[in-house]
Structure 1
């Protein structure tokens, strides 16, 4: 690739911002109030920077299709590689219902607040939307790309700027901040109380996705110089917007009243009433809904293609379900199977204690299945540095200390976040602690066992043949 077509620092920064930022994180973190500022910084240093730098080197050393699956396979063998891919896809099965719940709650909140917390309505409507998007992706319609582009603009940039502008206007017109940021003690996270910092796992998940964008590190004009610079700028921009968005929501809504699912719309509704802007609530709801649709749509097919790459070696799930549609050339059967599983978890809202409890359970399960591959990747990086020291990489983490320090910090941060998942947040009534921990731990163990059993069965079948 010529220099005129190579990617510059600005290109990578914009790509990271669009891929990672999500306005729904404002509601998740807002209950922490002023302490969320310190926690955002901890999450960024603990995961965002190590993740970006490690993925940048691995993606330029092993640029084959399959991404994180290829890296883990090269480090620990095909069995662990397959398990990594299977858990990555499993996380999407929990991730989609979580996003759909946020989508429906946000959209319906504009018209009927009580309906936004109706578990049956949200569950059934979420299923309908997902099957509709699945149908579009099976047909391979080109304009679905426009959904992603519109979602990036409307779902992140527009609502984020509206929220921040509202907060500035609110303070400028003499209205008091609804959350106390003036008391110095409120800025200090209560790290001695596990239930008050359990949300840090969700804050780290807010930076998930960096394993995708660094795959273009090799296309930089000067990878060794430009890529680290772009990561530094990306971290400042993304963390800065997350902080500004959280503060803005706290300006408009008391931290103690912020619901992790509907907190953003609660703040917008209260502000629209006080400032006499009735049009504000439906505008915000529409833009956020478009953003969530784009985010779901962008993740529908990608992990399935990665699973197909992982499946190619041993035909773990068989050739049938991985077959492409004869007309549209898309993984129709795999997409349909995914839609069935997502529908089951959409219906799980019916038996949850509340919408917030269902949302947090899905968030915890998503994070667990998503972060286990991260643990494999960070450990795999250290192994590949020893196993293939001379492998050509257009970008390498500089120095002797950083190549060991960054993946170690990333591994420990992810492990810490995984442990926190088993502590229910005090802001949400989750019921029995034992039942909650069985739901989270049992869900992760079941998916890991299923993936491993499928692999071992495929290996035995191949040996016999």
Structure 2
């Protein structure tokens, strides 16, 4: 029977009893496209209610379970979990209606009838059909299941594994570092001493505070979206969207760098990759191949990251052993303060030691994030610092330092000098694999960020759709398209552009962190940085000053393009809200998310 026919039939029940009234109200508001489920509910309702609703709820529950256990669909397959959830929700919601005072029940019935019989007005929010389940602001424990927008659980998505601590460590490693490939410009810009000191001191000023904030905020809001949710909870969804736009664009720019680095390390062995059509084809093929691997699943990416991490770091261990006879510690002390390119130096340090917060956009995919995320960040921090400092110590101490030679790919030349062609080939292969790992980790972060924003209603609903492997299909496609379009930029331009945008996003993160500490000091935080409110503010001052310095040192071209990108974000959010109001795109809020706090809801009430 049709859904409309069933609704007319059910409407005859609502005067029988409060139970019949409640069940009618619920069924009449059920989406009309679920005709098969409506017929199941109809049979259950008729058998359970009987005449004038005598004992309907217990009977309905029993009949519903019989349907789930024994009934089969017309295709001969057993009822899946969505049928069980539907029947369980039917009974639960009916009880909630009956437990409500009669006046509320009548108003609920009127609302249900109006929703089911009248067309929605233009001002009705498309996100309303999804009821948002909230927990006390701001945190609950982390392992949330995959749930499609609209509250329907997908059995295919529920079977995917969460990311454990070891794959998470290497995903963070590749989000931030991936090995020493790309640090050569620090020696070129400032010499050996400042390069070595930079990779020891800079983590204290920048990496540790950012990692600590990521640990606290990521466990406070254990969901995909990460820093977008943090800023939204403190400053409202408009600024949360700006955060998401700038960080996503920064991540896409960052990802455009890895095919460039990959080819820079291979061009000494394959000269045709220096430029022209072969290089363009190589960038395109590499991007598509790595994008497909991201499409196949985050768990695969995590375990592949472990393998790539070991292979990428191993040749530098061998290089260190080979270089021991040639080490001269006096070379480490070389410095010329009158010949320092501070802009290149700081940009190189900043680029190689940031993005600790990127893993927060995958928190919803992590197993037990309240414990796993802080530990993984700690282990990754040690791995990243050693992965930079040790190769620099070898490269600057084992051969005479000529600063002008220290540019992208120079570690492969050092390997040839120390060990021969075989070691150079190994370092080049390690670089290629390292850039592969960094690309996959960044792509995962960017795409799941878009999924998290869509689940919060900030982006159209199609961004929240997952592939059969549980990965955000449209997020991956959009991120890959951005990488291809930006791959024409040079290494220095990419680094400067992404750093500029990243700085704006990090300032908002610091503001959100401090504001939530001040406004919600007693909120649930599974991991809390062991400092008070004053300590939180003091901890954010040095990295904030560093951000301002990096922004001030940006080239005029990069600054202009970045400001244009920021302005696009300021206009894009109102355009999306207008598209939502005009129903050009569907927007929904996932029912599986926790409460973002009053700032989000007050700013998210659109007329």
TM class by shorter chain equals 0.7 to 0.9
Q: What residue number does 2:565 align with?
A: 447
Q: What residue number does 1:164 align with?
A: 320
Q: What residue number does 2:461 align with?
A: 319
1:105 equivalent in alignment to 2:264: yes
| Cα deviation code 1:259-292 (max 9, x no counterpart) | 42122122223334xxxx3311212211221121
Q: What residue number does 1:411 align with?
A: 544
1:20 equivalent in alignment to 2:137: no
1:291 equivalent in alignment to 2:431: no
Q: Pick closer, same or farther for the CA change 1:26–1:164 going to 2, 3 Å.
A: farther
Q: What residue number does 2:475 align with?
A: 334
Q: Give the Å deviation of 1:90.
A: 0.9
2:350–2:499 CA contact under 8 A, matched in 1: no
Q: What residue number does 2:519 align with?
A: 387
Aligned-partner SS, 2:442:
helix
Specify which of 461, 485, 494 is matched with residue 362 of structure 1.
Answer: 494
> Matched residues in 1 for 2:314 and 2:477: separation?
33
Specify which of 440, 445, 461 is matched with residue 579 of structure 2.
Answer: 461
2:413–2:424 CA contact under 8 A, matched in 1: no
Q: What residue number does 1:195 align with?
A: 341
Specify which of 247, 260, 263 is matched with residue 410 of structure 2.
Answer: 263
> Matched residues in 2 for 1:305 and 1:12: separation?
15
Specify which of 308, 311, 315 is matched with residue 151 of structure 1.
Answer: 308
Aligned-partner SS, 2:317:
helix
| Cα deviation code 1:430-449 (max 9, x no counterpart) | xxxxxxx22x1233223222
Q: What residue number does 1:82 align with?
A: 241
| Cα deviation code 1:394-414 (max 9, x no counterpart) | 222224342221122222222
Q: Give the Å deviation of 1:194.
A: 7.1
> Matched residues in 2 for 1:380 and 1:122: separation?
42
Q: Give the Å deviation of 1:151.
A: 1.5
Q: What residue number does 2:447 align with?
A: 304
Q: What residue number does 1:208 align with?
A: 354
Gaps of 5+ in 1: 2-6, 350-357, 423-436
1:420 equivalent in alignment to 2:553: yes
Q: Give the Å deviation of 1:78.
A: 0.4
Q: Give the Å deviation of 1:76.
A: 0.9
> Matched residues in 1 for 2:194 and 2:456: separation?
48
Gaps of 5+ in 2: 1-140, 142-162, 584-607
Q: What residue number does 2:218 align with?
A: 59
Superposition pairs for residues 21-40 of structure 1, below 5 Å?
A: 21=177, 22-31=179-188, 32-40=191-199
Larger relative contact order, structure 1 or 2 (CA cutoff 8 Å, min sep 6): 1
| Cα deviation code 1:219-243 (max 9, x no counterpart) | 449x9xx969x84x76565434422
Q: Give the Å deviation of 1:362.
A: 0.9
Q: Give the Å deviation of 1:140.
A: 4.5
Q: Which has the larger radius of gyration?
A: 2
TM-score (norm 2): 0.60
Q: Give the Å deviation of 1:322.
A: 5.0
1:365–1:444 CA contact under 8 A, matched in 2: yes
Q: What residue number does 1:95 align with?
A: 254
Aligned-partner SS, 1:389:
coil
Which piece of structure 1 moves more, 363-372 or 132-141? 132-141
Aligned-partner SS, 2:425:
helix
| Cα deviation code 1:152-181 (max 9, x no counterpart) | 2112x213323333332433xxxx68x833
Q: What residue number does 1:246 align with?
A: 392
Q: CA RMSD in A?
A: 3.5
> Matched residues in 1 for 2:285 and 2:565: separation?
25
Q: Pick closer, same or farther for the CA change 1:131–1:235 going to 2, 3 Å.
A: closer
2:253–2:486 CA contact under 8 A, matched in 1: yes
Which piece of structure 1 moves more, 442-451 or 51-60? 442-451
Which piece of structure 1 moves more, 94-103 or 247-256? 247-256
Q: Pick closer, same or farther for the CA change 1:16–1:456 going to 2, 3 Å.
A: closer
Q: Pick closer, same or farther for the CA change 1:14–1:363 going to 2, 3 Å.
A: closer
Q: Pick closer, same or farther for the CA change 1:417–1:72 going to 2, 3 Å.
A: same
| Number of corresponding residues | 412
2:254–2:498 CA contact under 8 A, matched in 1: yes
> Matched residues in 1 for 2:479 and 2:174: separation?
25
Aligned-partner SS, 1:418:
helix
1:323–1:333 CA contact under 8 A, matched in 2: yes
